[in-house]
Amino acid sequence: MPRPISAPLVLLDVNETLLDLSGLDGLFEQTFGSAEWRTAWTEATLALALKNTDEAHYHDFAFTGKQALVTLAAERGREVPADFSEKLAAATEKLPLHPDVKEGIERLHSGGFRVAVLTNSQLPVVTVQLRNAGIFNVLDAVLSADNARQLKPGQRAYEYALHETGAEAASTWMVAVHVWDIKRAMTAGMRGAYLSRKSPWPEGEQLNPQVKAATLPEAAEAMLRQEPVPS
């Protein structure tokens, strides 16, 4: 049943927050000899996306990922095989969910939240991913920053999400494993829920999220304690 537009909104990041990118490790190991390449590529892609956004250069996330991989391979004295992009795209479509995701979404919905995703991936890509993962139909909205022509953490990405959902920033939560995503969403007036899948929240940060949790169900419970929502 659709939740009322007045219900508080939860925006979930997708890559690494919902989908487990370690599902790509085998492909990178087979191609480059080590699964460490996948981690290095992920970090390089995010770094390039952040750089482009800060410098007001727009490239979609798929292009950014390809550019980051070519640069990484060149730095390591390797070449990217001609068929790798096709294999990577196919594997990306079938990434598994982290095991706590479905339970976390169910808890948010049962507590009365609207639940949407906001990702840097292009809409056709994330739609296939979420359908394959079995959660597309339980989401209230699937939003791509690509439609705002500015990737997260650009301000327009968060403004776009609020506009599309009709939500107020003060009644919206951003949930992610990325510190930069949480910080920029909070700068835009949202509340933040940080999942420590990768690492704890850094000490000394001036901005601190309202919720820090190890899993999405734990985050959901903490969010509900701060903002009880009638079901």
Q: Are residues 16 and 30 in the same domain?
A: no
Given 75, 92, 109, which residue is the final one in a domain?
92
Q: Are residues 131 and 67 in the same domain?
A: no
Q: Are residues 106 and 174 in the same domain?
A: yes
Residue 3 is assigned to a structural domain of this protein: no
Give me the CATH number covering residue 118: 3.40.50.1000
165 and 114 in contact (C-beta within 8 Å)? yes
Report the C-alpha dihedral over residues 121, 127, 128, 130, rounded to 10 degrees.
100
Q: CA-to-CA distance for 54 and 76, rounded, in angstroms?
A: 26
Identify the burial level of 196 via C-beta atoms within 10 angstroms of its C-beta, where 0-12 means exposed, 13-18 middle and 19 or more buried.
middle
Q: Against a cut of 0.75, is the pTM above it?
A: yes
pLDDT at 1 over 70: no
CA distance between the termini of the chain: 11
Task: Give the list of residues 6+ apart from residue 205 with CB closer than 8 angstroms, or none.
Answer: 179, 183
pLDDT (mean) for 160-165: 97
Q: Are residues 147 and 127 in the same domain?
A: yes
pLDDT at 146 over 60: yes
Q: In this predicted structure, what is the pLDDT of residue 75?
A: 97
Q: Are residues 30 and 131 in the same domain?
A: no
Considering only residues 230 and 194, tell me which one the structure prediction assigns the higher pLDDT: 194
Given 59, 92, 125, which residue is the final one in a domain?
92
- 43: part of which helix (H) or strand (E)? helix 36-54
Q: Are residues 46 and 83 in the same domain?
A: yes
Q: Are residues 105 and 86 in the same domain?
A: no
Q: In this predicted structure, what is the pLDDT of residue 198?
A: 83
pLDDT at 14 over 90: yes
Q: Are residues 82 and 101 in the same domain?
A: no
pLDDT (mean) for 125-146: 98
Identify the burial level of 153 via C-beta atoms within 10 angstroms of its C-beta, where 0-12 means exposed, 13-18 middle and 19 or more buried.
buried
Q: Are residues 129 and 217 in the same domain?
A: yes
pLDDT (mean) for 62-91: 96
Residue 2 is assigned to a structural domain of this protein: no
Q: Residue 29's domain spans which residues?
A: 21-92
Q: Are residues 74 and 101 in the same domain?
A: no
Q: In this predicted structure, what is the pLDDT of residue 2?
A: 57
pLDDT in tens, 172-200: 999 999 999 999 999 999 999 999 988 99
Q: In this predicted structure, what is the pLDDT of residue 54?
A: 87
Q: Are residues 49 and 122 in the same domain?
A: no
Q: In this predicted structure, what is the pLDDT of residue 229?
A: 52
pLDDT (mean) for 151-157: 94
Nearest to 198 by CA among 175, 178, 173: 178
Q: What percent of the chain has pLDDT over 90?
A: 89
Task: Give the confidence band of 231 by pLDDT, cuts at 50, 70, 90.
Answer: very low
Residue 4 is assigned to a structural domain of this protein: no
Sheet holding 141-144, edge to edge: 141-144, 114-119, 9-12, 172-176, 191-195, 211-213
184 and 209 in contact (C-beta within 8 Å)? no
Domain count, the chain: 2
Given 92, 115, 143, which residue is the final one in a domain?
92
pLDDT in tens, 196-224: 988 999 998 988 999 999 999 999 999 99
Q: In this predicted structure, what is the pLDDT of residue 206?
A: 87
